[in-house]
Amino acid sequence: MEDYTFQTVYLQAFDLHIVTQPLGDITMLQDDCRFLADPILYQQSYLNSSQLRSKHLSIAPFAKRNFTYNHFWNFYGSIKHQLQQQEPDYWRLQTPFKCRLLKWDLKVILEGAKFEVTVRPEIEVSALGWSTSLKFRLAGEISVEQLTEFVGKLRGKATAGDANILELNGTRLPIWKVFRAVQEEMFAEVYSGQNPPQETRILDRYIIVCPARFTGPLKSFKDEYASNPMSGEECASFLGMLYGEPVAEERFEQEYSARKFTVVQFHNYLQDFALSEFDKGTLLFMQKTAQAAEKYPRASRRLDCFSSNVGAIVMMIRSLHYFYKCAYVRKYAGTSAVIGPLFKGVTTDLSELCQGYQHDFSKFMFSNFSSLPQDFPSL
């Protein structure tokens, strides 16, 4: 498919781990990090903008501007848990802390590539666990095939060739080994080595792909009544960019009919759409904004923000929902002075997000859950 060429692509790759046992046994945390399982210290750390810095990492609250300019965090910080509440209840919200690994030098190495790639790691930690996001920016003249191959390298697809495209402190690694290196740091610096908790990875290489500048036609996705619809081959190629491997038109039609992925429609038309597979990732193609970026560069930055917003939706809703279902949490919710109130708080968070957050992608996330609190609206 030669019609589309991308000049800027924002891409995020996530790794999400849930760790709940320290809520019942605070000794599973390093001494300096025990505020993560203490409701009062957690709240105070946010209100006082406290920063923890050790030999290998620093932990600090989100900057205040994050709650103003980010669409998701602006809504999420407004959720109330008490009638007279003045400040956000950061503990019941489980608003994460930003975690920065010191002395890390991470870069992308792509031999022979005719486009540039930069990467920035972002780690967030809370009482629920931690998430790692590697944020990539691809710039140049990027074909559909090249973007598909790059995603394939991140996913470890054999058809994409060498997956060792990241260099961490001078060592070439595939992305899963970078995520493992973060995990090792977390268990060395945050969690106790003598009494380590169990962890559960609930997302592995969840990838968000967001073309932010492109040249090509403006077409509607899978809409036979549109004046300029995408062909079956074009639809399949966009799914391939999400999967990281070429997808034949026949396979696309089969998976579309079987609902193995979902088309999320934005603004009530299919020129701005997402293809989302619940556990693999999401391709966001906001064509009108991306096409405008050719004349108005700020439009490209808007899509970076939009992509980050979708990432925050995925990470928080998946974390909160796992905590809500967790057998360990439910076992002690009725007796623990820490877990019980947090369980009620998380139930409120999920309910408010489900009922009050007017975002098409958030609605899609909730439509995939079979286990929801009874006070949620039917989906």
Least confident of 137-151, 267-281, 308-322: 267-281
Q: Is residue 313 one of the residues assigned to a domain?
A: yes
Task: Say yes or no to pLDDT of 265 above 70.
Answer: yes
Residue 185 maps to a domain: yes
pLDDT, position 128 = 97
- 377 falls within a domain: no
Q: How far, in whole angstroms, is CA 28 from its chain's centroid?
A: 26
Long-range CB pairs of 48-51 (<8 Å, 24+ gap) are none
Average pLDDT on 44-71 reads 90
pLDDT at position 375 over 50: no
Q: Give CA–CA dist 235/218, Å, rounded.
A: 13
Determine which helix (DSSP H) or strand (DSSP E) holds 10, and give its type and residue range.
strand 5-18
With respect to residue 373, please indicate whether it lies within any of the assigned structural domains. no
Average pLDDT of span 131-135: 97
Residue 285 has pLDDT above 90, yes or no: yes
Higher pLDDT among residues 265 and 127, named by residue:
127
Q: What local confidence, expressed as pLDDT, does residue 2 receive?
A: 59
145 pLDDT tier (thresholds 50, 70, 90): very high
pLDDT, the chain, mean: 90
pLDDT top residue among 271 and 8: 8
pLDDT at 379 over 80: no
User: Which domain does 142 fall in, by range?
Assistant: 5-367
- Indicate the helix (H) or strand (E) that contains 44: helix 39-47
**Range of weakest confidence among 220-224, 278-282, 305-309, 352-356:** 220-224
Does 372 fall in a domain? Answer: no
Q: How confident is the model at residue 372 (pLDDT cuts 50, 70, 90)?
A: low
- Average pLDDT, stretch 44-57? 91
Domains: count for the chain: 1
- For residue 347, tell me if it sits in a domain: yes
- Listed range (48-62, 199-213, 268-282) with the worst mean pLDDT: 268-282
Strand arrangement, sheet containing 97-101: 52-53, 57-60, 97-101, 115-126, 129-143, 5-18, 200-215, 281-286, 269-277, 262-266
